[in-house]
Amino acid sequence: MSRHVTRTPAATRIDDLPIRDELRGKSPYGAPQLDVPVRLNTNENPYPLPEPLVQRIAERVTEAARNLNRYPDRDAVELRTGLAAYLSRTGGHHVTTAQVWAANGSNEVIQQLLQTFGGPGRTALGFEPSYSMHALISRGTGTGWISGARNDDFTIDVDAARAEIAAHRPDVVFICSPNNPTGTAVDAETVLALHDAAQAAKASAAGALVVVDEAYGEFSHRPSLLPLIEGRPNLVVSRTMSKAFGAAGLRLGYLAADPAVVDAVQLVRLPYHLSSVTQATALAALEHTDTLLKYVQQLKAERDRLVTELRAIGCDVVASDANFVQFGRFDDAHVAWQALLDHGVLVRDNGVPGWLRVTAGTPAENDAFLDAVRALFTERSSKENQR
Ligand SMILES: *Cc1c(COP(=O)(O)O)cnc(C)c1O
C-alpha cells in the first residue's frame, strides 16, 4: 500500500525543473490509498498467497540468493517456458517459449512495446474510458495519444472505431478486454475487425501494432483472445500475475506474440531487467497455478453476486468479465464515493461521470460494501421523498 512521503513545502517545484514540455502540469498515476476497513479500489486479489506457495517462494528465493553475485538470466528462459506452458494449458492456443516475453508488470511490457512501436512522431489509440496507463505510458514514451470513444454501454462501436482508425492511422491500437474500469469484454470478431482496419490504415507494408490487454483474462466468461496471435505478427496479447495470480507485489507481466515481436522488444529492454528474485518467485507461483485458479473461481462467483445484488438494490451495473464491477448511476459520483468511504468502504472513482468501480473482495468485504450501498440508496430515497 502506498504512503505519501511528506516534504517541506518546497522550494523547487517540478515545473521549475528542465523537464520535457509534454510532462509539464501533468499528474502521476495514483489510486488514493486510504486506511479504511474495506479497500476495494485497486482490483487486487483479496486472498493472500496460500502458505505452501509462500514456503515454495522462500525456497526458490533462497536458491536464487546463493547466486545474487551473478546477473540474472537475461532472457528469463525458464520463466518464459513456464508462462508458455500456462498459456498453452489455459488460453486455448499452443504458445512456445519464443512467443512469450516477461517484464516487471504488464505496465513494463506496455512500456517496452511503446518504446519499440511508438515514440516521438508516432501515435497510439485506445477506446476510453479504459486503463489510464495506456495513455500515461504513451505520454512517457513520447507517443501521441488518441482517445477513441465507446458506446454509452461501454462496448466498442466497431464502425466508429474503424472510422477513427482510418482517420488517425495510429501506430499502436490498444484493446483492453476485459476493459478496466468497465469490465466489458470484446469478442474475437471485433479484435479482428480493428486489427485489419489498423493494418489497412497504414501506408507502410509493416502496418500497425494491436495490443490486446488481457490483464483480467482469467476472470472472463469468454475464452482468451490468445489464439488470434496465430498468423498475425502485429497482434500482441498482454497478461499479468498481478490480478488472477494474486501477486500484485511481485511485478510480473508478460506478453504472447509472434517471436519477431519478442525479438523487437529486446532492442529497448534494459539488460537484466527482470531480477533473479522476481524470476524465482514467479516460477514458484506457476507451480501453484491450480490453487491460484481456484481463488479465481471464487472471485468470479463473488463478482457475479455483486452484479446481481447491486441490481436488486436498484443500481445500474455494467456486465462484468473482470474481478470488478462498474456501478451507478450517481448524479455526482464523487459525492457517492465519499459517502461509501464514510461507511468505511473505499471504492474507485475513475472519473467516468456517474459511475464508480468496486473490486470483488472476500465475501465479508463484499457484504460490507453492499450494506454501504444499501444505506446510500436508503438515504437517497428518503431525501427524495422529503423533497
Ligand atoms: C492492473 C492492470 C494491468 C497490470 O499491471 P501490472 O503492471 O501487471 O501490475 C494492466 N492492464 C490493465 C488493464 C490493468 O488493469
Q: CATH number of the domain at 346, please.
A: 3.90.1150.10
- What's the CA-to-centroid distance between 213 and ligand 1, angstroms? 8
Q: Residues 89, 79: one domain?
A: yes
Q: Residues 36, 94: one domain?
A: no
Residue 27 lies in a domain: no
Pick the last residue of a domain from 287, 312, 344.
287
Residue 131 lies in a domain: yes
* Dist. CA 143–CA 147, nearest whole Å: 13
Residue 19 lies in a domain: no
Q: Residues 57, 156: one domain?
A: yes
Read off the pLDDT of each residue in 284-305 and give the average, rounded to a whole number. Answer: 97
For residue 387, what pLDDT is reported?
Answer: 56
Specify the DSSP class assigned to residue 348.
B
Alpha helices in the chain (DSSP H): 51-65, 77-90, 105-117, 132-140, 158-168, 188-201, 259-265, 276-287, 289-313, 333-342, 363-386
Read off the pLDDT of each residue in 165-178 and give the average, rounded to a whole number. Answer: 98
Instruction: Report the 10 Å Cβ neighbour count for 236.
Output: 26
* Dist. CA 161–CA 164, nearest whole Å: 5
Q: Residues 254, 269: one domain?
A: yes
Q: Residues 234, 318: one domain?
A: no
Pick the last residue of a domain from 257, 287, 317.
287
Q: Residues 59, 141: one domain?
A: yes
Ligand 1 pocket check for 176: Cβ under 6 Å: yes
- What's the CA-to-centroid distance between 253 and ligand 1, angstroms? 8
Atom in ligand 1 nearest the alpha carbon of residue 241: 8
Ligand 1 pocket check for 107: Cβ under 6 Å: yes
Q: pLDDT category, 248, cuts 50, 70, 90?
A: very high
Helix axes 363-386, 289-313, angle to 10 degrees: 10
Ligand 1 pocket check for 183: Cβ under 6 Å: no
* Dist. CA 239–CA 249, nearest whole Å: 15
Block residue for cell numbers 484493446: 175
Residue whose CB lies within 8 A of the most ligand 1 atoms, among 101, 107, 176, 220, for a mutation test: 107
Residue whose CB lies within 8 A of the most ligand 1 atoms, among 131, 238, 321, for a mutation test: 131
Ligand 1 pocket check for 366: Cβ under 6 Å: no
Read off the pLDDT of each residue in 96-116 and give the average, rounded to a whole number. Answer: 98
- What's the CA-to-centroid distance between 82 and ligand 1, angstroms? 20
Pick the last residue of a domain from 287, 315, 338.
287
> Looking at ligand 1, which residue's alpha carbon is closest to its atom 6?
105
Spatial contact of 137 and 114, defined as CB atoms under 8 Å apart? yes
What percent of the chain clears pLDDT 70, i.e. is strictly above it? 96
For residue 205, what pLDDT is reported?
Answer: 82
Q: Residues 214, 241: one domain?
A: yes
Q: Residues 283, 357: one domain?
A: no
Q: Residues 61, 83: one domain?
A: yes
Residue 122 lies in a domain: yes
Block residue for cell numbers 462467483: 301
Q: pLDDT category, 190, cuts 50, 70, 90?
A: very high
> Looking at ligand 1, which residue's alpha carbon is closest to its atom 7?
105
What percent of the chain clears pLDDT 90, i.e. is strictly above it? 88
- What's the CA-to-centroid distance between 309 and ligand 1, angstroms? 27
Whether 203 has a pLDDT exceeding 90, the answer reads no
Ligand 1 pocket check for 130: Cβ under 6 Å: no
Domain with 340, as residue range(s), is 32-49+291-378
* Dist. CA 220–CA 130, nearest whole Å: 17
pTM of the predicted protein model: 0.95
Residue pLDDT, tens place only, 114-154? 999 999 999 999 999 999 999 999 999 999 999 999 999 99
Q: Provide the number of structural domains found in the chain.
A: 2
Whether 109 has a pLDDT exceeding 80, the answer reads yes
- What's the CA-to-centroid distance between 177 and ligand 1, angstroms? 11
Q: pLDDT category, 362, cuts 50, 70, 90?
A: very high
Q: Residue-wise over 204-233: b if at least 16 C-beta within 10 A, else e?
A: eeebbbbbbbbbbbbbbeeebbbebbeebe
Residue pLDDT, tens place only, 227-243? 999 999 999 999 999 99
Q: Residues 164, 299: one domain?
A: no
Ligand 1 pocket check for 242: Cβ under 6 Å: yes
Q: Residues 256, 365: one domain?
A: no
